[in-house]
Amino acid sequence: MNLKQDQQLQKQCKAWARAECGNYVSGRCVEEDRDCHLINPRYPTIQEGAIDCDWFIHAVLPTFEALQEDIDILTHMPIEEYEDGLPKRACVKCGVMFQPTSNRQENCPVCQEKQNRAMARERKRKQRQKKA
């Protein structure tokens, strides 16, 4: 399953939560008194744990069998891994899947290089302004 299909499933889950969840009122979770946390933005795919609301998984999702089957199939698929065992992630900036070198890495190497150059350019600009 590709990233686009995963995002469509996430959209369906959000729509189903708006329609059927008893705890969902105007974008907020009544039970936890905060914004609805159905989709965890730290995880790009359902397979990696993007669906974060236990109430939705145990009480709301079983009422929509087709969606539950798709999610069950997806969550029981093995996560694609490389030789070091870390799962692939989607780049925050461009969305391409990449192999992280640490648990905090958010950008693919190409976007990270662009970001590093932009930060260095800004740092040098400020440094030169101080001298002048």
Report the SS3 class of residue 82.
coil
Residue-wise pLDDT for 100-131, tens only, equals: 888 888 898 999 999 999 999 999 999 999 98
For 1, how many CA atoms within 13 A lie in the half-sphere containing its CB? 22
Identify how many contiguous H helices and E strands the chain contains and give both numbers: 4, 5
Q: Are strands 28-29 and 24-25 parallel, antiparallel or unpaired?
A: antiparallel
Q: What is the pLDDT of residues 2-46, one digit of tens each?
A: 667 777 887 888 888 888 888 888 878 888 777 777 776 666 677
Q: Is 33 helix (H, G, I), strand (E, B) or coil?
A: coil
pTM of the model: 0.49
Domain locations along the chain: 3-79, 97-131
